[in-house]
Amino acid sequence: MKTTLITGISGFLGGHLATIAKDQFRVAGLFHTYTAEIPGVRTFYSSLKDFTVLQKNLDEIQADVIIHNAAMANPDTCEANPAEAEKINVGSSEFLAKWCETNDRRMVFISTDMVFDGTKGNYREKDEVNPLSIYAKTKAKAEIDILTHCRNSLICRIALMYGKGVFDRLYGSEWLERELIKRKNNVISDPVVLFHDQFRSMISVSKAAEAVTEAAGRDIRGILHIAGSERVSRFDFGRKLCAVLKIPETFIVSAKYDDANIRTPRPKDVSLNITKARSLLTTQFQNIETGLREIYP
């Protein structure tokens, strides 16, 4: 059995990656501020800014495949701390890519749909990137660095994810569910504002982890889009989430992105075309309703 090292095992996607990858790999995982423990997974403290610690992790784990998932993943935090975002998201990626190339190992990088500017939608792997935010710029730069430095590498561009994290902590990606439940419990009365003109091919976090794990174990190189099977606006996703949570739709309200005063630029339509993933993977990509029903049966 091959060994995989997953960075950011304590995060929203990382916890699912570790859980699912256990069936296919011996798994080691790195956490930073949150001490993550998953039965059957060796976990280690690390810092993406400290290459001495990272090197020690690499020497000890000797992974065949690195899934580089850890990142400064909040676009607003990246926008406010561009130098830090560059160091964490780009610097660590280049370091790991060079280690993989030197040691003849495989590297899988978790990137984002936000590398596109959102003017077109239905993006394929060969479409040109044009990142709008600092977060997206660091991801686009890391993609190039990895493809340049590591021959056996795969960039998985993931769409916006929904679902539940595996650890008992506050995940940014669970914000909408949290906000809806606050309204249901009468903690807040104002409805949640969701854009009707911002589109994503949202995917459940467990399905994204399944697809990445399958791709990591196969000889697939280059770029691969991983997303749900339908394009949906943020508002329509909210309606579907209200339905499964049995929460009245009056708790959400639709708004126009252009009318909102948003500091960190976010692309309008970064829906992803998953024809390539469908042709290469056996993972069955779902629509939102199927994905939500699995999470909230």
Beta carbon of residue 261, minimum distance to ligand NAP (angstroms, whole number): 23
DSSP tag of 91: I
Q: What is the DSSP letter of 223?
A: E
Residue 200 CB, shortest distance to ligand NAP, in Å, is 9
Closest CA to 210 of 21, 2, 3, 9: 21
Q: Is 127 exposed, middle or buried (0-12, 13-18, 19+ CB in 10 A)?
A: middle
Can you give the length of the chain in residues? 297
Question: Contacting ligand NAP (CB under 6 A), which of 112, 138, 204, 213?
Answer: 112
Using the rule CB under 6 A, is 122 a contact of ligand NAP? no
Q: How far is CA 80 from CA 13, 44, 125, 274, in A?
A: 23, 29, 29, 32
Name the minimum Å distance from CB 161 to ligand NAP: 4
Q: Which of 2, 37, 49, 148 binds ligand NAP (CB under 6 A)?
A: 49
Region of 156-164, 245-253, 257-265, 283-291 interacting with ligand NAP (CB under 6 A): 156-164
21 near ligand NAP, rule: CB under 6 A:
no
CA dihedral 113, 117, 123, 126 (to 10 degrees): -100
Min dist. Cβ of residue 189 to ligand NAP (A): 28
69 contributes a contact to ligand NAP by CB under 6 A: yes
Instruction: Single out the segment in contact with ligand NAP by CB under 6 A; choices: 27-35, 210-218, 248-256, 276-284.
Output: 27-35
**Is the CB of 220 or the CB of 227 nearer to ligand NAP?**
227
Residue in 47, 152, 229, 286 binding ligand NAP, rule: CB under 6 A: 47
For ligand NAP, the binding residue among 5, 20, 48, 66 (CB under 6 A) is 48
- Name which position in 4, 5, 11, 136 contacts ligand NAP (CB under 6 A): 11
Contact flag: residue 171 with ligand NAP (CB under 6 A)? yes
H helical segments located in 185-287? 205-216, 234-245, 275-280
Q: Does 206 bind ligand NAP (CB under 6 A)?
A: no
Residue nearest to ligand NAP (CB): 11
N-term to C-term CA, the chain: 34
- Interface residue with ligand NAP among 18, 142, 160, 232 (CB under 6 A) is 160
CB 105, min distance to ligand NAP, A: 19
CA distance linking residue 37 with residue 237, whole number of Å: 32
Query: Residue 138 interacts with ligand NAP (CB under 6 A)?
Result: no
Least Cβ distance, residue 14 to ligand NAP (angstroms): 5
- Within 8 A by CB and 6+ apart from 86, the residues are 138, 141
- Among candidate residues 112, 137, 290, 120, the one with its CA nearest the CA of residue 199: 120
Which pair of tokens denotes residue 139? 């991801």
CB of 180 or CB of 270, closer to ligand NAP: 270
| 224 touches ligand NAP (CB under 6 A) | no
CA–CA distance, 212 with 123 (Å, rounded to integer): 19
Pairwise CA distance, residues 87 & 72, whole Å: 10
Residue 230: how many CA atoms within 13 Å on its side-chain side?
A: 12
What residues line the site for ligand NAP (CB under 6 A)?
8, 10-14, 31-34, 46-49, 69-73, 88, 110, 112, 158, 160-161, 171, 173
